[in-house]
Amino acid sequence: MPKFNQQTDTIANPPNLQPLCISSDGHFLNTADGHPFFWLADTAWELLHRLNIEETELYLRTRAEQGFNVIQTVLLAECDGLRTPNAYGKLPLHMDSNDEHHLFQPDTDGDYSYWDHVDTVLDMAAAHGLYVALLPTWGDKFHLAGGAGPEIFTPELAYQYGQWLHQRYGGHVHLIWVLGGDRALQTRKHFDSIHQMAEGLRGSQYNAEDDTTPSDSEQKGTSSARQLITFHPKGGVSSSLYVQDEPWLDFHMIQSSHGAGVRDNYRLVQHDYHLQPVRPTLDAEPCYEDIPIDFRAEHGYFDEADVRQAAYYAVFSGACGHTYGHHSVWSMYNGVDDSVWSGEQEGYFIMPWQQALQRPGAWQMQHMRHLLERVDLHTAKPAQHILHHPPTGSNYPVAIQGKNYIFVYCPHGLYVKVKTNSLPSHNWQAHWYCPRTGSIHDLSEPERRRELHVEWKAPSSGRGNDWVLCITWTI
């Protein structure tokens, strides 16, 4: 069988970014020098496929200014990524005379190939201090399931593709590999394709065809630092459903998705948090801002209150970070004249991506990161047990507790009742933190003190009036 072209490109590792690794307790991410890393990602699935350099610069600069530190995107894109060229008219794979795709022949020809553009964007992201969570392919390329496809991966080709990516991008310390791509694993071929792609990305020295190892020149892109690998599942589940026991999996991804009903992604996070072996987990695709609820415009749209609730629910339930998304940004929707999305129902998109970059939910995500980077996050553990008779349903609060702090998120304000025996005996202080503005409201005394609990009333209540009660003390 023909092999991949063994072309490799290397870049100077960005001085301000280090490889990521797993914390000693297994629940969090660190940089290689041991500093905690709070994952705050944005979703840009069509970034490499649809934007030119100038547009990419606008996108990356804006997200960096808004406090994001990870970008999620795809090499072989969802929107007919094998047959529709990128912004420069280039395709990722060579085509034969019958318009069939040669997976084993990435198209690196010409002065500025598809892969040259990928190289440029990865360097641009690093220059903005952004890590890239990179899907080698969207899931429809190994499990069609109604996507554009075509299905081109066999386990053997998946291994070769993963190996080629390792040889080209293994030296990029700011990459995290994400397998899957919104698809279930249902057949042995699906599982084997994912496993073999992971093996290739890990840089196995075994050559599947001729039992030889890559030459030194073929490994110039590799690095001694191991890039993390995870899995992006179909909607409503976690990667733990499919690949919990896979040795290549470093951390879990959840897709709580875009369905109607009360946000309850905390259930998926809590499930993953208690699994063995212990791995970090995060919600990598919660409800997008301005996406139709349940994908139907007549149901209305998720707004900034929904995306904030999903974010705090996940992180205060034990997630190592969170991913935000906007419906018009992941798709890079260009407005009413966008031919790629012209077949969608009216109201499916309600603004172009440039406008969507400035939506309130995107700006507000940084307040969560700032709050959690003020404390020793790696001591945080889910702490629902400290709450006294908490509300249920859409008013459900979530709590975490660290070595010298307790945080309680209240989606609609109301009140918080903390069990008295969960508080330090003295010298603790409380304040309200606003997820909408990052402002702090000092408190002098609790609203009520009872024998079994202490109660605080939120500064305001109602939809969109979410608050975090912060209790801190000195040690």
CATH architecture of 20-375: Alpha-Beta Barrel (3.20)
Spatial CA neighbour of 246 closest among 286, 164, 175, 190: 190
Say yes or no to pLDDT of 51 above 60: yes
Beta bridge partners of 408: 399, 469
Neighbour tally for 357: CB within 10 Å: 21
Distance between CA atoms of residues 391 and 138, nearest Å: 40
Strands 229-232 and 237-238: unpaired
* Amino acid identity, position 416: V
Q: What percent of the chain has pLDDT over 70?
A: 90
pLDDT tier for residue 444 given thresholds of 50, 70 and 90: low
Q: What pLDDT, on a 0 to 100 scale, did the predictor assign at position 449? A: 82
Q: Which range is least confidently modeled, 54-68, 132-146, 215-229, 374-388?
A: 215-229
Q: What pLDDT, on a 0 to 100 scale, did the predictor assign at position 439? A: 97
CA distances to 35, 46, 208, 253, 273 from 75, in Å: 29, 9, 23, 18, 30
User: For the segment 285-299, what is each residue's pLDDT rounded down to a tens digit?
Assistant: 999 999 999 999 999
Q: What pLDDT, on a 0 to 100 scale, did the predictor assign at position 388? A: 97
Q: What pLDDT, on a 0 to 100 scale, did the predictor assign at position 442? A: 83
Distance between CA atoms of residues 420 and 455, nearest Å: 10
Neighbour tally for 34: CB within 10 Å: 10
Say yes or no to pLDDT of 447 above 80: no
Which one has a higher pLDDT value, 322 or 339? 322
Q: What pLDDT, on a 0 to 100 scale, did the predictor assign at position 102? A: 63
pLDDT tier for residue 446 given thresholds of 50, 70 and 90: confident
Distance between CA atoms of residues 244 and 167, nearest Å: 27
State the average pLDDT for the chain: 91
For residues 226-254, one letter each, b for 16 or more C-beta atoms within 10 angstroms of the residue's C-beta and e for the rest, the string is ebbbbbbbbeebbbbbbbbebebbbbbbb
Q: What pLDDT, on a 0 to 100 scale, did the predictor assign at position 448? A: 77
Spatial CA neighbour of 251 closest among 5, 431, 2, 26: 26
Q: What pLDDT, on a 0 to 100 scale, did the predictor assign at position 5? A: 38
Distance between CA atoms of residues 140 and 94, nearest Å: 19
CA distances to 402, 409, 421 from 380, in Å: 4, 14, 18
